[in-house]
Every structure is written in C-alpha cells, then in structure tokens.
Structure 1
Amino acid sequence: MHRAGNTENPMDFRAERRILTSRTWKTSKLPVRGIYVSGWVAGSKSRLERLIRLLDTTDLNAMVIDVKNDYGQITYRSSIPAVKAIGADRNYAISNIGALIQKLKAKNIYVIGRIVTFKDPLYAKHHPAMALQNQSGGVWRDGQGKAWLDPFQQQVRSYNRAIGEEAAAVGFDEVQFDYVRFPDNGEKVDREVTFSSRQGRSKSEIISTFLRDARKGIHENGARVSADVFGLVTSSADDMGIGQSWRSVSSVVDVISPMTYPSHYSTGMYGVKNPDLSPYAIIHHAMTDANRRNHVMKENSRTAVAGIRPWLQSFTAGWVHPHQHYGYEQIRKQIQAAKDAGVQEFMLWSSNCKYEYRS
C-alpha cells in the first residue's frame, strides 16, 4: 500500500487496481481503499468525473455507490417485481447502471454497491404490516419519523436479499449491507415495539441469518458480501440492543466495516476526553479490539472471520463540542492508526461526497 506523501506515478495505482476488478478477490491481497458515492453523484457526469480524477491521482481504488438509499429508493432501473410494484426505482438517479460499472472497471476501480437494508420508509409505506409495529397499534417510527422494517419478517429479508443478488448480477464486485440492524436505543425500542414471528430467535441471530442467506446468492453471482456495523461493535460484549455483535456478523460475511467515526464516540470512551479531537487514539483502539475479536474467534472456534475494513471520518461534525475540521491531516491520522493496528483497508465517508484527500 502506498503511504501518504508517496510521489509514485499515478499510473501505478491504476495498474494495481486491475487485481481488484478481475474477480480474483479470493486470492488478491491488495487492500481496498474507497470513498462513498451517493446515487445522485454517481448519476452526475461532472461530479463523478471529479471523483474518478481523485482516484486516478491517489492510492484510492474503490467506490461505494448507493444501490438502495436511506429513503428506500433504488438508484437504477431494477427488474425485481417487488421493486417495480412499489415504484422504488421510479426516480432512479443512474440512467444506465451497466454502463457506469463498465466505465469504472475500465478505470480499474473496485465497485461496491451499498444497500440500506432495514431502514426503509418507502417499503414500509406500501407494506405497513412489514414494518416494526407500535405495541399500542400502528407503524412505529424513530425519532426522525422514519419507519423501519421488521427483520423477523421473511418477506422483508427476501426483498433485500433479491436487491443484493441483482446488484451482484449487474456487475458490482461487492454488495455492502448498511443499516443491517434494528433501530438504536434498543431498550427503548423493545418497550415500544411488537416484533413478529420471532420463534425464539434473538436480534443478533436474525441479522446473522439474513446475512448468511444473502451471501449464498451474492456469491453465486460473483460478488463479495460486506456489512456495516456500529463503531462500538468492535468493543462491545453484546449486540448493543441492535442485533449487531462482532461474532454474529464477522462469521457470515467477507468484510465487516465498523463505522468508527471519532465524532460519534462519547466523552471518555477509551479514556479519550474529546474523541473528535483524537482521531488516531479512537481508530487505533477500535481496530486493535476488532483484530483481537477476530483472533479469538479463529483460535477458539476455528470460525472463518471477515476482513476488517473500517469507515473513517471524512466530514466535520459541527454539532459536536469541541470539534475540529476533518481535512487531510485528520484523515491521514485515522489511516495511520488503522495501519498501526494491523488494518490496511479503509473507506472514507462524506455524505456530500467531497473529500480532502491526497496520497
């Protein structure tokens, strides 16, 4: 992996990327280093070109592109009947997904499709019985007024699994499930919500079941499977009330991606007074814990474990006090912390898809 400040010819980066897009991911040792790209940016020629130029001139080699976004919308025209039935692809942002993927692969860019899984207000609107239900009646909504789907419902799991399989079939190298969990503040949710068809299963068991079942069809279509988890999952002893435990997820996917944004950690976590001001300390501790978890799993149960590829902060959390601007130096510190903890891969998150990055 090229280190920050490396002045090698950018053509070398493009040569490296051929390994990633040749579908030899099972044996490739080249680290994935990606950025998030919304469906709207991916569908904008000018904005996409700017991001391609960023990858051409740095050691970045991957894009994470929305397949199903936070509103439940599919970003390209789908052939899935259940998608068509609710018009989830009616306002698609990407006019030709095949051409887009072909263009990126011609640039030797590893292409990851992001699916916002169980937070899906659109599907819940058309199928309210599939949403989490208030104990007092009606569809439950989170603090932002958004409805969530009930992962215990087979129909819900099948819908998202079909979207993942289609994403693999159209050419994504990897399918990434985000919001593959129950809503946060789990104890409060448990007091308010009635779950359906639990059949004695825990939250973490049903999340693991979904990912394991989805993996089969996605693998058959030639792609890897990854899952995003809360940053604290690296260190928590339980599923945090959201159905995500390190063991239950890492054992059933190819890549696990904790969202280790320093701004999202509470004061005093890991002994750090102001986490947003200490990106190196937060990432190093989280990645050390993540590696330790995988090591214990392999040693104690001989279980296959996922590769670790964290989401790193590439945005300024102005709502946090105190906070700092997250530019190149703050990104570099996070990347170095992950490396020093033995983690070579990373992805950068910026909701507006603007990145202050160089290599």
Structure 2
Amino acid sequence: MLASPSALERIKLPVKAKGIYITGRTVSNSKFSRLLKLVNETELNAMVIDIKEDEGRLTYQSAIPLVKEIKSDQTKFIPDLDDVMHTLQANNVYTIARVVCFKDPLLARKMPEWAMQKKTGGIWVDRKGVAWIDPYRKEVWEYNVAIAKEAAKKGFREIQFDYVRFPDNGKRVDEEVNFYQQEGIAKDMLIAEFLAYAKKELEPYHVYVSADVFGLVPSVPDDMGIGQKWDLVSPTVDYLSPMMYPSHYANGTYGLRVPDAQPYETIFHSLQDAQRKDARLQKRRATPATIRPWYQDFTARWVKGHIVYGPREVTAQIKAGRALGVDQYLIWDASNTYSEAAWKKENEQ
C-alpha cells in the first residue's frame, strides 16, 4: 500500500493546473502512457482521474465499509491505484480525484431510502431513467466525503466534486420530489453547506477542494433550479470549475448565433461574467475560489451549426482565458482522445 506522503510533500503549494480528464478505463490501458507523455512534454501538468464515476462505481478497490457492503468497487477499472499514484508522483503530475456526488444510480439501487422519493411514492428518476440520491440526506454527504478522504490518503493532491447539484429541470423536480427533511433549507444553501462540510472534513488531509458547476452559473442571477449559485458555492472551495463547453450554451447566448462555432467569444463572455461575480464577492469581503474552467475538446454533432473541434478550437478557448488573466484550465473529452497539437511548452510559444 502506498505510504502517506511526507510532511514536505503535503505542503499546499499553489499550482496553476492545466489538466486533462482521465477515466478509470483509460488509466488501465495503453492510452494512459501516451497521455502521460503528453503531460510530460507540454505545458499540461495535471490529470483529473475518475475515482467515483457517473454510475456511482468506484474505479479502484476501496476499504470503506459501506463501499464493501454495497459492492460499489467491484469493477476495479484501476487494479492497482497505489502503483498508478507512484507513477504520477514520479512524473510530477498534479493529481485531482474526481468524485461524482449526487448522481449515483448504484447507491440509489443499494440504498433506496437514500434516493430521491416521488411524492406519489417510489423512487424518482430523471428523463433518462437515472435515479439520483437525495442531497438532503447527510448519510450521502458522509459517504462521498469518506471516498474523498480515501483518495487523499492515496496521495491525490486535490478532490474535485462533480454533480454537486440537483437534477436539471428543477421546477419539475420540485413538483415531483418529496425531499428528505428539507426543513425550509433552499437547494442552493444546501449545496454550499455540503461543500463547506466537505472542505472542513478534508482539512486534516491537506488537499485542495474544488467543485464543478454548470457553465451558465456565472451568467445567471439564480441557482438555475439545480442548487448551484456562484456567490454561495465559490467561497466554500479552493477552485471552482465552470464547465464552459461552448456546445452547452444555447444558440443566441451572449448574442452569439452558435456559441459552439465561436469558442473564443463564448469563453471570453462567460469568464467575464464569472470575474464580475468574484469582484462583487470581494467587495463583500468574501474570498472567492480561484477560477479554473473546463474547456471543450470534443465535437458536439448534436448541436445545429456545430463545428469540428481540434487543436485550433482548444487553443482558442485557452487564449480567451489568458486574455482575462485566467491561466488555469481543464480539458474534457469523455473518450480521452485529445488534440495533442494544441499544446506546446510555454517557452516555445
């Protein structure tokens, strides 16, 4: 088993992370070596690795009692996480553990009383038939934070909470779901409370804490019905990662006919809104999280008027961030097939 990092290694030195997303499957196949080489030879320096993914499955063998009880680590996409961490540490890769929180159909099946319950009885599912866990259940907080703690013990330097929200189409959800002991606590307050709880629980492990939010969150005044409100979430974490995939903005957003076809402009407008909200937080003497956006490296063929994404489009997004002083970023492609030509050593640019 991997020994705990030394005190020196645990000093929380700030890192300007420039990373790519890695699935558990990728960690265990030949593609991983190629991506590690990419990180070693370019300005990239970080990997966001699935530890608990969208189906609720852990990607490694866990020692957490509840995980063993419900068998949520049976797939073992990563047979030897300790060995992987040794390799990443030897290559000076900044490691971020992705923990998907409230979208957890596996936990909903195994612990149905923790799932969102319909007012008419039974487990609520979204339009795709996926069951979600009720964020008002504190047992769910403890479960996800236990996984985060285990990732920290394995040597990850940052914990990133994803799907730290309620399902979309919030009005319908509110009409159909009987939340557990809601007691007047608004959804946006609850999400902020969970993140504050997680950060406090993780303090002894000397890891950074981050959260993913919808890309539109910086640009709207409310919580979009999903419990993600910039002003509430930002002060609770170290890094905040709005998922600013141009394909995910409706045509016409920011006055752009097809945001997907204008990656630079889309990122620029969205980040400007985020910075304005941060400035307002600072005026109120609050400390906002460092902005580290997610950028798109996939082609959204379902979008009318879409363009093919490659090195030029990835670079356009990175340049938009840099124009506003945002020099950290994460790159998403679900298949982990990245536009490698988009990156060069900073001193070569």
Could you say whether these structures have the same fold, taking a TM-score greater than 0.5 normalized by the shorter chain as the test?
Answer: yes
Equivalent-residue separation in structure 2 for 1:61 and 1:24 (angstroms): 18
Equivalent-residue separation in structure 2 for 1:338 and 1:219 (angstroms): 30
Equivalent-residue separation in structure 2 for 1:218 and 1:103 (angstroms): 24
- In structure 2, the residue matched to 1:74 is 58
Please point out which of 13, 33, 37 is paired with 2:18.
33
| Structure 1 residue 255, shift from structure 2 partner | 0.3
Residues 145-294 of structure 1 aligned to structure 2 (within 5 Å):
145-294=129-278
Deviations 1:116-155 (A, max 9, x none): 1000000000111101111111100011111000000111
Task: Specify the SS of the correspondent of 1:149.
Answer: coil
Task: Specify the SS of the correspondent of 1:67.
Answer: strand
Deviations 1:152-177 (A, max 9, x none): 01111111111111111111010000
Q: Match of 2:330, as an amino acid?
A: M
Task: Specify the SS of the correspondent of 2:265.
Answer: helix
| Structure 1 residue 24, shift from structure 2 partner | 4.0
Q: 1:177 to 1:296 in 2, by over 3 A?
A: same
Task: Specify the SS of the correspondent of 1:133.
Answer: coil
- In structure 1, the residue matched to 2:4 is none
For the 8 Å contact 1:132–1:148, the answer to whether it is kept is yes
- In structure 2, the residue matched to 1:323 is 306
* Percent identity of equivalent pairs: 46
Note if 1:56 corresponds to 2:40. yes
| Structure 1 residue 219, shift from structure 2 partner | 2.4
- In structure 2, the residue matched to 1:332 is 315
Task: Specify the SS of the correspondent of 1:201.
Answer: coil
For the 8 Å contact 1:165–1:214, the answer to whether it is kept is no
TM-score for both structures, normalised by structure 1: 0.91
Equivalent-residue separation in structure 1 for 2:10 and 2:221 (angstroms): 35
| Structure 1 residue 22, shift from structure 2 partner | 4.3
| Structure 1 residue 336, shift from structure 2 partner | 0.4
Please list every run of 5 or more consecutive structure 1 residues that lacks an aligned counterpart in the other structure: 1-20
Note if 1:137 corresponds to 2:124. no
- In structure 2, the residue matched to 1:96 is 80
For the 8 Å contact 2:101–2:163, the answer to whether it is kept is yes
Deviations 1:210-241 (A, max 9, x none): 11111122221121100000000011101110
Task: Specify the SS of the correspondent of 1:204.
Answer: helix
Task: Specify the SS of the correspondent of 1:295.
Answer: helix
Q: Match of 2:102, as an amino acid?
A: F
Deviations 1:285-307 (A, max 9, x none): 1111111111110112x112101
Please list every run of 5 or more consecutive structure 2 residues that lacks an aligned counterpart in the other structure: 1-7, 345-349
Give the count of matched residue pairs: 335
TM-score for both structures, normalised by structure 2: 0.94
Equivalent-residue separation in structure 1 for 2:47 and 2:9 (angstroms): 16
Equivalent-residue separation in structure 2 for 1:176 and 1:33 (angstroms): 14
Q: 1:352 to 1:38 in 2, by over 3 A?
A: same
Equivalent-residue separation in structure 1 for 2:251 and 2:195 (angstroms): 33
Q: 1:239 to 1:197 in 2, by over 3 A?
A: same
Equivalent-residue separation in structure 2 for 1:84 and 1:101 (angstroms): 22
For the 8 Å contact 1:169–1:222, the answer to whether it is kept is no
Task: Specify the SS of the correspondent of 1:165.
Answer: helix
Task: Specify the SS of the correspondent of 1:257.
Answer: strand
